[in-house]
């Protein structure tokens, strides 16, 4: 059994409950214990950093301080949470003035942080802490007819070098292959989906989403798997808007990689939250997946 | 160059260099790798390379009133490619921050409103309830634009992905978070 502190992030209560439920189910199947951090708060994301950087760091530092008490690696499922928490850690270690200010602010809430928590992304955990043989041994369903485009997005691999290449990452490719599915080339795999600017600059962001969908289709992908809630929402919930705006006809299901893992492990549809996916994967899974 | 004379060339660049991540702005060799890597460079008033050049020339108003930094997606592609180890993404964040202070009452771009709303919401609830946030944002900016968002929003709603009831932090942890954030804000930033 491997133990981790788990930081779900706001998206899991809002747009992507299926990421949360599938991640927990897959973890259980792999003897990984994801212990949710008690009383965690929002990471503040990029917007808070822009408005008040110190407050944004303190927002994250509270979560880091809570995780430090428990002592395990802190695992985030959302790439933005992962980046913002890691960034707080880095600034805490590199800038003594920032460290002093964060320490003072945390004290106002009766907390202290010493900078010892290691922040991880859940892709890193499933792709690197679990061996591919172990993954293969859990696979019960044949995915060999399924062509998958592995989509990383930006913030899981950048800016700081961590567990994968900055521009041409491979961990999700390897993991998808271990599940028995076919991985198609996906040159835009680490390009940005536009994130929350879909609300303020939708014209521009719809164009970015279109490129990502086009690239997957051009490489004959049956579906896209992703590791970030923002990517999933943009590619899934706004796929219809892209079709209307550009007169295209995309119908590409966008699953979380943990949902695909769950399908391979034979976990039931409801637990994996496949009914939450807006572009339904049912037809493709019915025709291409043999139980 | 009028701006440079009014504000002084070095003031602006020093202001940026003093912010974490902005230190290396003076190392820029104007190679344009950042602009070539940016997914939104063609939509910007000035490309990231041009923006850095303007900042170094002390052209504060031109820089802070441009849309450039507000179209930064924080994808960090420029950052990992910069041959001088500059972090253009952090410079964009720093410029967004300065622009927000500069145009406090009337932000020039919608993204500034969105960011302010998100951070106020975190301060108030410890979370970001999406439905309320989206409605507040469109009411503040352009309610008509909300019409274009109705279909994606309904898609999320009907697939159980946009709870009506806001998820909030419990009272005790919220009190703790608020104490920390109030203290941080009282310190007046970095």
User: Which tens digits make up the pLDDT trace of A142-177?
Assistant: 999 999 999 999 999 999 989 999 999 999 999 999
Please report which confidence band the pLDDT of residue A291 belongs to, taking 50, 70 and 90 as the band edges. low
Task: Report the residue from B75, B130, B179 with minimal CB separation from A15.
Answer: B130
Residues B43 and B131 in one domain: no
Which residues form the domain of B38?
A: 2-102
CB atoms B180 and A108 under 8 Å: yes
Q: What pLDDT sits at residue B140? A: 85
Exposure of A59 in the CB half-sphere (CA atoms within 13 A): 30
Q: In chain B, which residue's Cα lies nearest the Cα of A42? A: B127
Q: Is A233 on the interface with B (CB under 8 A)?
A: yes
Position with higher pLDDT, A208 vs B135 = A208
CB atoms B80 and A159 under 8 Å: yes
| Position B135 pLDDT exceeds 90 | no
Residues B69 and B138 in one domain: no
Tell me: the pLDDT tens digits for B165-180?
A: 888 899 999 999 999 9
Residue spans of the domains in chain A: they are 2-122, 139-288
Task: Report the residue from B39, B179, B184 with minimal CB separation from A192.
Answer: B39
Alpha-carbon torsion, ordered A201, A203, A204, A210, to 10 deg? 130
Q: What pLDDT sits at residue B1? A: 45
Is the separation of the CB atoms in B22 and B90 below 8 Å?
yes
Other Cβ atoms less than 10 A from the Cβ of A268: the count is 10
| Position A269 pLDDT exceeds 70 | yes
Percentage of chain A modeled with pLDDT above 70: 100
> Which conformational region is residue A165 in: left (phi greater than 0), alpha (psi within -120 to 50 degrees), or beta?
beta
Percentage of chain B modeled with pLDDT above 70: 93
Residues B181 and B114 in one domain: yes
Percentage of chain A modeled with pLDDT above 90: 96
CB atoms B115 and A50 under 8 Å: yes
* Residue position matching structure tokens 């037809």: A283
Q: What pLDDT sits at residue B133? A: 87
Task: Report the residue from B20, B141, B169 with minimal CB separation from A39.
Answer: B169
| CATH number of the domain to which B92 belongs | 1.10.1060.10
CB atoms A199 and B127 under 8 Å: no
Q: The domain A2-122: what is its CATH number?
A: 1.20.1050.140
Give the span between the Cα atoms of A20 and A6, in whole angstroms. Answer: 10
Q: What pLDDT sits at residue B130? A: 84
The whole-angstrom distance between B127's CA and the closest CA on chain A is 5
Q: Is A187 on the interface with B (CB under 8 A)?
A: no
Please report which confidence band the pLDDT of residue A290 belongs to, taking 50, 70 and 90 as the band edges. confident
Residues B96 and B144 in one domain: no
Residues of A with Cβ-Cβ distance to B97 under 8 angstroms: 50-51, 53
Task: Report the residue from A166, A167, A204 with minimal CB separation from B71.
Answer: A204
Q: What pLDDT sits at residue B104? A: 66
Tell me: the pLDDT tens digits for A70-117?
A: 999 999 999 999 999 999 999 999 999 999 999 999 999 999 999 999
Arithmetic mean of pLDDT, A178-183:
98
Q: What pLDDT sits at residue A116? A: 96
Is the separation of the CB atoms in A126 and A262 below 8 Å?
no
Arithmetic mean of pLDDT, A227-255:
97
Residues B71 and B16 in one domain: yes
β-bridge partners, A223? A148
Task: Report the residue from B20, B151, B183 with minimal CB separation from A240.
Answer: B151
CB atoms B100 and A204 under 8 Å: no
CB atoms A58 and B100 under 8 Å: no
CB atoms A202 and B119 under 8 Å: no
Q: For B31-145, where are the alpha helices, taking DSSP H only?
A: 33-37, 48-56, 60-64, 77-81, 88-102, 110-125, 130-140
Percentage of chain B modeled with pLDDT above 90: 64
Q: What pLDDT sits at residue A280? A: 96
Position with higher pLDDT, B40 vs B138 = B40
Tokens at A24, concatenated = 């927990």
The residue among B69, B102, B135 that closes a domain is B102
Is the separation of the CB atoms in A76 and A120 below 8 Å?
yes
CB atoms A159 and B167 under 8 Å: no
Arithmetic mean of pLDDT, B15-38:
95
Give the span between the Cα atoms of A280 and A274, in whole angstroms. Answer: 8
Please report which confidence band the pLDDT of residue B106 belongs to, taking 50, 70 and 90 as the band edges. low
Give the span between the Cα atoms of B95 and A263, in whole angstroms. Answer: 45
Tokens at A121, concatenated = 């992304």
ipTM: 0.94
Q: Residue A255 in 3-state DSSP? A: strand
The whole-angstrom distance between A54's CA and the closest CA on chain B is 5
CB atoms A44 and B122 under 8 Å: yes
Please report which confidence band the pLDDT of residue B107 belongs to, taking 50, 70 and 90 as the band edges. low
Q: What pLDDT sits at residue B31? A: 98
User: Of A31-35, B97-101, B105-109, B186-190, which has the strongest mean pLDDT?
Assistant: A31-35
| Position B27 pLDDT exceeds 70 | yes
The residue among B44, B67, B102 that closes a domain is B102
Arithmetic mean of pLDDT, B175-190:
93
Q: In chain B, which residue's Cα lies nearest the Cα of A191? A: B75
Is the separation of the CB atoms in A264 and A26 below 8 Å?
no
* Residue position matching structure tokens 């219809």: A240
Tell me: the pLDDT tens digits for B83-96?
A: 999 999 999 999 99
Give the span between the Cα atoms of A276 and A269, in whole angstroms. Answer: 10
What is the rounded average pLDDT for all residues in chain B? 89
* Residue position matching structure tokens 């660049």: B13
The residue among B67, B102, B137 that closes a domain is B102
Q: Is A108 on the interface with B (CB under 8 A)?
A: yes
Q: What pLDDT sits at residue A205? A: 97
CB atoms B80 and A58 under 8 Å: no
Exposure of A283 in the CB half-sphere (CA atoms within 13 A): 7
- Residue B124 — φ and ψ, nearest 5°? -85, -40
Residues B87 and B179 in one domain: no
CB atoms A199 and B149 under 8 Å: yes
CATH 3.40.50.11810 fits A139-288, yes or no: yes
Q: Is A98 on the interface with B (CB under 8 A)?
A: yes
Number of domains in chain B: 2
Residues B22 and B90 in one domain: yes
Residues B16 and B87 in one domain: yes
What is the rounded average pLDDT for all residues in chain A? 96
Give the span between the Cα atoms of A163 and A288, in whole angstroms. Answer: 32
Residues B15 and B95 in one domain: yes
Selected residue of A41, A86, A93, A231 to mutate for chain B interface (largest B Cβ count, 10 A): A41
Cis peptide before A159 (omega within 30 of 0): yes
Please report which confidence band the pLDDT of residue B50 belongs to, taking 50, 70 and 90 as the band edges. very high
Residues B115 and B41 in one domain: no
Q: What pLDDT sits at residue B9? A: 53
Tell me: the pLDDT tens digits for A25-78?
A: 999 999 999 999 999 999 999 899 999 999 999 999 999 999 999 999 999 999
Residues B8 and B91 in one domain: yes
The whole-angstrom distance between A70's CA and the closest CA on chain B is 17
CB atoms A155 and B172 under 8 Å: no
Q: Is A169 on the interface with B (CB under 8 A)?
A: no
């Amino acid at each position: 059994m491997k133990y981790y502190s788990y930081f779900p992030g706001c998206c899991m209560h809002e747009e992507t409950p299926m990421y949360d439920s599938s991640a927990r189910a897959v973890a259980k199947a792999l003897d990984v214990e994801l212990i949710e951090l008690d009383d965690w708060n929002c990471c503040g994301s990029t917007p808070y950093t822009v408005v008040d950087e110190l407050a944004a760091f303190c927002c994250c530092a509270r979560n880091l301080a809570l995780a430090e008490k428990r002592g395990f690696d802190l695992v985030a499922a959302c790439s933005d949470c992962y980046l913002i928490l890691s960034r707080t850690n880095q600034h805490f270690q590199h800038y003594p003035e920032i460290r002093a200010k964060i320490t003072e602010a945390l004290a106002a809430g009766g907390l202290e942080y010493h900078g010892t928590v290691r922040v991880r992304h859940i892709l890193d955990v499933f792709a690197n802490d679990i061996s591919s043989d172990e993954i293969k041994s859990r696979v019960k369903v044949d995915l060999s007819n399924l062509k998958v485009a592995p989509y990383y997005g930006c913030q899981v691999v950048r800016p700081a070098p961590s567990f994968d290449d900055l521009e041409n990452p491979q961990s999700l490719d390897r993991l998808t292959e271990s599940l028995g599915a076919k991985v198609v080339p996906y040159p835009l795999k680490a390009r940005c989906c536009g994130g929350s600017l879909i609300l303020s600059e939708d014209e521009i962001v719809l164009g970015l989403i279109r490129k990502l969908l086009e690239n997957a289709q051009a490489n004959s992908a049956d579906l896209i798997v992703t590791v970030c809630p923002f990517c999933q929402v943009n590619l899934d919930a706004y796929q219809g808007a892209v079709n209307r705006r550009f007169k295209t006809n995309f119908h590409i299901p966008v699953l979380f990689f943990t949902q695909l893992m769950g399908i391979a492990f034979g976990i039931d549809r409801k637990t994996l939250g496949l009914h939450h996916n807006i572009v339904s994967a049912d037809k493709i899974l019915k025709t291409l997946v043999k139980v | 160059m009028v701006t440079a004379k009014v504000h002084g060339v070095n003031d602006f660049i020093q202001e940026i260099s003093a912010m974490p991540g902005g230190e290396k702005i003076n190392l820029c060799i104007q190679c344009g790798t950042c602009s070539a890597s940016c997914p939104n460079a063609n939509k910007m008033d000035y490309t990231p390379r041009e923006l850095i050049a303007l900042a170094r020339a002390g052209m504060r108003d031109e820089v802070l009133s441009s849309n450039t930094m507000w179209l930064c997606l924080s994808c960090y592609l420029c950052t990992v490619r910069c041959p001088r180890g500059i972090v253009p993404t952090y410079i964009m964040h720093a410029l967004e921050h300065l622009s927000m202070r500069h145009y406090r009452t009337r932000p020039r771009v919608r993204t500034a409103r969105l960011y302010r709303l998100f951070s106020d919401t975190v301060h108030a609830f410890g979370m970001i309830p999406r439905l309320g946030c989206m409605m507040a944002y469109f009411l503040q900016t352009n309610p008509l634009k909300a019409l274009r968002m109705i279909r994606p929003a309904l898609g999320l709603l009907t697939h159980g992905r946009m709870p009506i009831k806001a998820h909030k932090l419990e009272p005790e942890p919220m009190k703790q978070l608020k104490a920390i954030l109030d203290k941080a804000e009282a310190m007046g930033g970095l």
